[in-house]
Structure 1
Amino acid sequence: MNEDRDSALAQAVRLREEGQAEQARVRLLALAERYPDDAEISYQTAWAHDVLELEAEAVPFYERALSGSGLSVEDRHGAFLGLGSTYRVLGRYESSAATFRRGLEEFPGDAALTVFLAMTSYNLGSSRDAVGSLLKVLAATSGDPRVQSYRRAIEYYADHLDEIL
């Protein structure tokens, strides 16, 4: 890779991590202009915008990051979470749901993507789907012994919320 690019990117990420997000954003914008097809730079630029609550400005960088190649698996996962969450915050619920579903195609069963999709489902008026998804994540990931003792029942009722005897 390009040592200048790598060094500049590392410095900008360090600034963001140290709480100097505005300085990081300025540097990342310059890098994004210089390397418009660089998915990693796009992702880091989106993240810097999100940290500063500049969600609308983050969207095109997340989209560019996900449309390109070169992201690590962890960063690609983060980009799906970031873009989907950003769309949700902006009230773009259909785009949010589509992004989370795309993420789940690449990361099947991922708990974080499932939880964020559940929040978006709630916003779309699909409370049953939202609660069912959250119950499944709870059953699968909870370390609480009482929750685990009822895991089979929780998983069953996640798909049968309206069932009565």
Structure 2
Amino acid sequence: MLARAVRLRESGRREEARTLLLTLSERCPDDAEVAYQTAWVHDTLGLEAEALPHYVRAIQLPGLSDDDRRGALLGLGSTYRILGKYPEAVATLRDASAEYPDDGALRTFLAMALYNTGRSHDAMEILLHLLATTSQDPEITRYRPAIEHYATDLDATV
């Protein structure tokens, strides 16, 4: 039944998937994967407030694969941000970025949440480091040392 719900979501039949996942969620309240998929479908429908408790449950329960845990943490942090719960978004995404330091998406969403809390300097530092270390653009790689230097001190003049 879970696989069917995921297929429905992936094929754009999100309302049908939501109905099925809510039923599954009631039947299997201790299943982290069901909680994650239920959160995800609510997110795709723009129902972030309804997604939130499912994300929280998915994170708290054992059983998510590493990839799904990353996705659930990103979804939870992003949902907090969209709902205006910026401190919770920062805390969730900062912890997730520490748990998965190579995940650029987590760091990008953390930068957005930091921006929302008025911490533009911290957000720019994260994004500039990410740009310098991941870009394949020849002009970016050419200036990588300078970008990395200014990432830590945007006010530097020399």
Superposition TM-score, scaled by structure 1 size: 0.94
Q: Which runs of 5+ in 2 are unaligned?
A: none
**Whole-angstrom CA distance in 1 between matches of 2:113 and 2:27:** 35
**Whole-angstrom CA distance in 2 between matches of 1:150 and 1:163:** 16
Secondary structure in 2 matching 1:28: helix
**Whole-angstrom CA distance in 1 between matches of 2:114 and 2:120:** 7
**Whole-angstrom CA distance in 2 between matches of 1:156 and 1:110:** 21
Deviation at 1:128, TM superposition (A): 0.6
Corresponding position of 2:99? 106
**Whole-angstrom CA distance in 1 between matches of 2:27 and 2:89:** 29
**1:16 matched to 2:16:** no
Corresponding position of 2:58? 65
Matches for 1:114-153 after TM superposition, within 5 Å = 114-153=107-146
Deviation at 1:105, TM superposition (A): 2.2
| % identity of equivalent residues | 58
Deviation at 1:22, TM superposition (A): 0.6
Pick from 38, 55, 63 the counterpart of residue 48 of structure 2. Answer: 55
Deviation at 1:44, TM superposition (A): 0.1
Deviation at 1:152, TM superposition (A): 1.1
Q: Which runs of 5+ in 1 are unaligned?
A: 1-7
Matched AA of 2:129? K
**Whole-angstrom CA distance in 2 between matches of 1:117 and 1:63:** 18
**Whole-angstrom CA distance in 2 between matches of 1:38 and 1:60:** 14
Instruction: Please report the RMSD computed on the Cα atoms of aligned residues, expressed in angstroms.
Output: 0.8
**Whole-angstrom CA distance in 2 between matches of 1:25 and 1:74:** 22
Deviation at 1:98, TM superposition (A): 0.8
**1:83 matched to 2:76:** yes
| 1:14-45 Cα deviation digits (max 9, x unpaired) | 00011110110010011011110100000000
Q: How many residues align?
A: 158
Superposition TM-score, scaled by structure 2 size: 0.98
Deviation at 1:109, TM superposition (A): 3.6
**Whole-angstrom CA distance in 1 between matches of 2:102 and 2:124:** 16
Pick from 30, 34, 47 the counterpart of residue 27 of structure 2. Answer: 34
| 1:55-112 Cα deviation digits (max 9, x unpaired) | 0000000000000111111110000111111110110000101110121121024211
Which portions of structure 1, spanning 4 or more consecutive aligned residues, are displaced by more than 3 angstroms?
Answer: none
